[in-house]
Amino acid sequence: MKQNFTVRQGALDGIESFLSVARHLSFRAAATELGVSASAISQAVRTLEARLGAALFLRTTRSVGLTEAGARFLARAKPAFEELVAAGQTARDLGQRPTGLLRVTAPRAAVPILLEPLIASFCQAYPAVELEIAANEELVDLAAQGFDAGIRMGKFIAADMIAMRLSPPFRLMVVGNADYLRVHKRPERIDDLAQHACLRMRRSDGAIAPWFFASGNKAVEAIVSGPFIANDFPTLLGAAVRGVGLAQVPGPIAAQAVKGGKLVPLLEPFAPMTPGMFLYYPRHRQMPPKLRAFIDHLKAQQDIAGKIRAMAKTGRRS
């Protein structure tokens, strides 16, 4: 037997009219409140009574009163209807101004580099928005896990997402501690990594990621081995600084350690270029104002940073 999956219509029809009549005990006053005719109110209530199978009002030429069924219906329908009205107002507020919880997923390494300088200024500019940053390495399904946006390297972003660039392209760098390199011969070719302790990344799907290189115009994947595995770049970087082995990490993450002399860049001629970091989010017919505010804030901060860099290059002062 074929099932009927048609959604029942009109479950709330007449409720507002009923509540208004019950509040005023007058069909005419209810009509004035709702801006319709008294006959329209009367018809709406009659239709509701027919659907419920019970009379809700006692009507005479002089007065209107509630039946027992009407009084019991009022006791439960009034708070339920008020909750619906409040829910509608909440949704309306979320659709008209930046407010509510904004959830963003990002790799741990991206938080201090890309987000920490922006978090305080965004929270100050939009106090009605609660900003939640979930730092993890997993490739998150934004809709399924309740995130508004994510931050990832461009090559990991699904094609159906809208992406906004947050960083220029950068290289993946192989780095090692000077003490480690005093004991182990410095690698000059990709094949030399077979003789080294290589720190590896476990992906969110459980697989161990190979190391990536560029040899001329050819992309090369190298299967390496070593004593330590982690699931994020900052942990791998920390292990490399302590001399556990060599690590391959994004250039911006290693930059400070390299500048401070804690790590040495290796195999630089083979370092591959990546597209950089992006903010990504689903296509929206109506973008939530909280997400629009976050995107606009990021763009504004990028514009300011770009102007400062340009001024530093030319030597001009504001």
Q: What is the pTM of this model?
A: 0.65
pLDDT digits (tens, 9 = 90+) for 41-86: 999 999 998 988 899 998 877 888 899 998 999 999 888 888 887 7
Q: Is the pLDDT of residue 1 over 50?
A: no
In contact, 236 and 255? CB cutoff 8 Å: no
pLDDT digits (tens, 9 = 90+) for 139-170: 888 988 999 999 998 878 888 899 999 889 99
Could you write out the DSSP letters of every residue in 167-233?
Answer: S--EEEEEEE-HHHHHHSPPP-SGGGGGGS-EEEEB-TTSPBPPEEEEETTEEEEE----S-EESSH
pLDDT digits (tens, 9 = 90+) for 270-288: 999 999 999 999 987 778 8
pLDDT digits (tens, 9 = 90+) for 286-300: 788 999 999 999 888
What domains are defined for the chain?
Answer: 15-94 (1.10.10.10), 100-168+276-314 (3.40.190.10), 170-274 (3.40.190.290)
**pLDDT for the residue numbered 59:** 85
pLDDT digits (tens, 9 = 90+) for 202-255: 988 889 999 999 998 899 999 999 999 999 999 999 999 999 999 999 999 999
